[in-house]
A and B are shown apart, each in its own frame.
Chain A
Amino acid sequence: MATSASPEPARRIRAIDFALVLWPSFLAACAASVLFFAAVDPAMLRDAGPHLFAGLDREAGYALGFLFFWGVGALASTVSIYLIRTERGGGRADPPGAA
């Protein structure tokens, strides 16, 4: 843990981090939505699914499904970036012993 007042450079949130989180998760969400909604009709979730989906029309189903996949992907990307950035040595891909 850094004890100094200013965080280590690797831990600072940078503008590029937003792109690195949002963009791959966006692509993954596109793929996941196509696959998922090819097999599952949102109207079916409303009619036969749990009570949670009552009142869901198709358009809302597609949009919320997409946003859900995007959110899950973004969470995974965030954790990945956090783990890389907080790795000892700043997450550089130096081969072992190359110090």
Chain B
Amino acid sequence: MSVARLKSVPPPEAGDGPFYVAAAKIYPREIGGRFTRLRRAAVVVLLGLFYGVAWLEWDAHQAVLFDLPARKFHLFALTLWPQDFLYLALLLILAALSLFFFTALAGRLWCGYACPQTVWTELFVWIEQWTEGTRSRRMKLDRGPWTAEKVLRKSLKQVLWVALAAWTGFTFVGYFTPIRSLGGDLAHLSLGPWSSFWIVLYGLATYGNAGFLREQVCKYMCPYARFQSAMFDKDTLVISYDPARGEPRGPRRRGTPARAAGLGDCIDCTLCVQVCPTGIDIRKGLQYECIACGACIDACDDVMDKMASPRGLIRYTTEHAVQGEATHLVRPRMLVYGALLAAGSVALVYSLFTRVPLILDVIRDRNSLYREVRGDRIENAYSLKVINLDDRPHSYSLVASGMRGLELAAPLAPITVPAGSVSNIPARLDVAAPQAGGVHSISLTLTALDAPGIRVRETSRFVGPAP
């Protein structure tokens, strides 16, 4: 992908709506300050977790591994199976509820600090700043001719970007295929076709999203950016410019009190616009492009310090606070989101702690309704599917109940299933003919011999001759 295409080109058909690739390139200015430090910390922690956790081991297996080839999910001591899909669904619901809760509380925290798009873009921009220099140097470099220095700087950036993207793709696939064996395959250039395919796909996605598209993902592709306003109210923390204090804006000398010059505190230095990763002017009010990263706050605080004016011309605040009214932390929206979140969390923790690592499926034999055996007894046949979800083998006893005189004809020996395996067992039940007439509801109970807590009960039907 050529860098030249990234350059700021006037849209060929101006007025025809926003153009995707042809949209003016944004050169975010480098910035320091409270919120920038916070975001940097978030980048280091989140990406550190992403790149690092894949290499953790736990009990001779990878600590976090969604082992698709084996259809097992390892989460430290916990091993989940596709049958445990409920937990994944519950976890996703909780994630959505947390997003609602924190959005209502503090606006787009997710966008500014935790979204992979923000986090990886930050990393790619660091590389860009390291190889191509500050904002003004980058703009000059892009405008200038293709000198040896430009070629060198741009090539270095591309090499680092591609390497980072490839490492990201590799790590990502390492959460689905054991990363150590994947690394060995990579070192011996013997990667399987599908592993290679996924590494390249996710590498390309990382490069494209964090290096090439950046803020355009937030502006044009992100559904959350469009509907997050539904969770906002007048008490939600947003980044806002204080027009009452700032206007009328205009340049003034350091030390000149703003009011004496007939001006507001804003000196119209446009630094808040230059640092914005999405290229908006926060002074025009809250816009859906704002990802609430706080870069403009850091920039403006710096300027206010230099002008000896109080900080906070641009600040985290609420619509109520800007209007001079009280901000309410506790409000119905927060209570509803909070209650749902708490209930979901309790349900998840409870169900994980009471999870029985055993599944029994009972399927009635469809070939015959019943069969007469030993002259005076009626027999039904079943097919049992016993899934041992535990990390060690178990032997189970099977007990049938629900009808007077119901007896288990097979299996008579305990059922032994290896760790993490499925056994299909034929079973037969019989009952004396006089008791067998009609359709009966019965139940089968499977209990681990070495752990009575591991017990499941399944219901089925017993069919006899019509009475």
Shortest distance in angstroms between A32's beta carbon and chain B's nearest beta carbon?
14
Question: Does B130 touch A at the CB level, under 8 Å?
Answer: no
Q: Are B221 and A59 in contact, with the CB atoms below 8 A?
A: no
Q: Are A39 and B82 in contact, with the CB atoms below 8 A?
A: yes
Chain B residues within 8 Å of A16, by CB: 18-20, 220
Q: Are B16 and A38 in contact, with the CB atoms below 8 A?
A: no
Give a binary string over A3-16; 1 marks a CB under 8 Å from any B CB, 0 the rest: 00000010000111
Shortest distance in angstroms between A76's beta carbon and chain B's nearest beta carbon?
16
- The residue on B at minimum CB distance from A35 is B85
Q: Are B19 and A14 in contact, with the CB atoms below 8 A?
A: yes
Shortest distance in angstroms between A54's beta carbon and chain B's nearest beta carbon?
18
Chain A residues within 8 Å of B223, by CB: 24
In the complex, A20 Cα to B17 Cα: how many Å?
Answer: 15
In the complex, A19 Cα to B13 Cα: how many Å?
Answer: 19
Chain B residues within 8 Å of A20, by CB: 220-221
Complex interface residues of chain A between 48 and 83 (CB less than 8 A to chain B): 58-60, 62-63
Chain A residues within 8 Å of B82, by CB: 37-39, 41
In the complex, A88 Cα to B18 Cα: how many Å?
Answer: 20
Chain A residues within 8 Å of B88, by CB: 34, 38
Report the interface size class on chain A.
10 to 19
Q: Are A9 and B19 in contact, with the CB atoms below 8 A?
A: no
Complex interface residues of chain B between 205 and 237 (CB less than 8 A to chain A): 213, 216, 220-221, 223
Chain A residues within 8 Å of B194, by CB: 59-60, 62-63
Question: Does B126 touch A at the CB level, under 8 Å?
Answer: no
Shortest distance in angstroms between B25's beta carbon and chain A's nearest beta carbon?
14
Question: Does B93 touch A at the CB level, under 8 Å?
Answer: no
In the complex, A60 Cα to B220 Cα: how many Å?
Answer: 32
Chain B residues within 8 Å of A63, by CB: 194, 197-198
In the complex, A41 Cα to B194 Cα: how many Å?
Answer: 17
Chain A residues within 8 Å of B221, by CB: 19-20, 23
Q: Are B192 and A14 in contact, with the CB atoms below 8 A?
A: no
A38-B82, A63-B198 given; A15·B68 CB < 8 A: no
Q: Are B68 and A9 in contact, with the CB atoms below 8 A?
A: no
- Contact among A24, A38, A58 with B69 in the assembled complex (CB-CB below 8 Å): A58
- Contact among B20, B68, B213 with A58 in the assembled complex (CB-CB below 8 Å): B68
Q: Are B19 and A15 in contact, with the CB atoms below 8 A?
A: yes
Q: Are A41 and B192 in contact, with the CB atoms below 8 A?
A: no
Q: Are B69 and A9 in contact, with the CB atoms below 8 A?
A: no
For B, the interface residue count at a CB cutoff of 8 angstroms equals 23
Q: Are B19 and A59 in contact, with the CB atoms below 8 A?
A: no
Question: Does B304 touch A at the CB level, under 8 Å?
Answer: no
Q: Are B192 and A59 in contact, with the CB atoms below 8 A?
A: yes
Chain B residues within 8 Å of A41, by CB: 71, 82
- Residue picked from B88, B192, B221, most chain A C-beta under 10 Å: B221
Shortest distance in angstroms between A7's beta carbon and chain B's nearest beta carbon?
12
Shortest distance in angstroms between A39's beta carbon and chain B's nearest beta carbon?
7
Q: Are A15 and B20 in contact, with the CB atoms below 8 A?
A: yes
- The residue on A at minimum CB distance from B205 is A26
- Contact among B20, B198, B213 with A14 in the assembled complex (CB-CB below 8 Å): B20
- The residue on A at minimum CB distance from B192 is A59
Q: Are A19 and B20 in contact, with the CB atoms below 8 A?
A: yes
Give a binary string over B173-206; 1 marks a CB under 8 Å from any A CB, 0 the rest: 0000000000000000000101101100000000
Chain A residues within 8 Å of B432, by CB: none
In the complex, A63 Cα to B19 Cα: how many Å?
Answer: 32
Chain B residues within 8 Å of A37, by CB: 82
Chain A residues within 8 Å of B197, by CB: 63
In the complex, A19 Cα to B223 Cα: how many Å?
Answer: 13
In the complex, A63 Cα to B192 Cα: how many Å?
Answer: 12
Shortest distance in angstroms between A46's beta carbon and chain B's nearest beta carbon?
13
A9-B16, A23-B221, A62-B68 given; A15·B85 CB < 8 A: no
Chain B residues within 8 Å of A18, by CB: 20
In the complex, A15 Cα to B220 Cα: how many Å?
Answer: 11
Chain A residues within 8 Å of B192, by CB: 59
Chain B residues within 8 Å of A15, by CB: 19-22
Complex interface residues of chain B between 1 and 26 (CB less than 8 A to chain A): 13, 16, 18-22
Shortest distance in angstroms between B317's beta carbon and chain A's nearest beta carbon?
32
A9-B13, A58-B69, A59-B192 given; A38·B19 CB < 8 A: no
Could you list which residues of chain B lie within 8 angstroms of chain A, going by C-beta atoms?
A: 13, 16, 18-22, 68-69, 71, 82, 85, 88, 192, 194-195, 197-198, 213, 216, 220-221, 223
Could you list which residues of chain A lie within 8 angstroms of chain B, going by C-beta atoms?
A: 9, 14-16, 18-20, 23-24, 34, 37-39, 41, 58-60, 62-63
* Inter-chain pairs besides A23-B221, A59-B192, A62-B68, 9 sampled, C-beta below 8 Å: A15-B19, A15-B22, A19-B216, A24-B223, A38-B85, A58-B68, A59-B68, A59-B195, A63-B198
27 of the cross-chain contacts (CB-CB < 8 Å) are A9-B13, A14-B19, A14-B20, A15-B20, A16-B220, A19-B20, A19-B213, A19-B216, A19-B220, A19-B221, A20-B220, A20-B221, A23-B221, A24-B223, A38-B82, A38-B88, A39-B82, A39-B85, A41-B82, A58-B68, A58-B71, A59-B192, A59-B195, A60-B194, A62-B68, A63-B194, A63-B197
Give me the 5 closest cross-chain CB pairs, A-B, nearest first: A16-B20, A15-B20, A38-B85, A59-B194, A15-B21
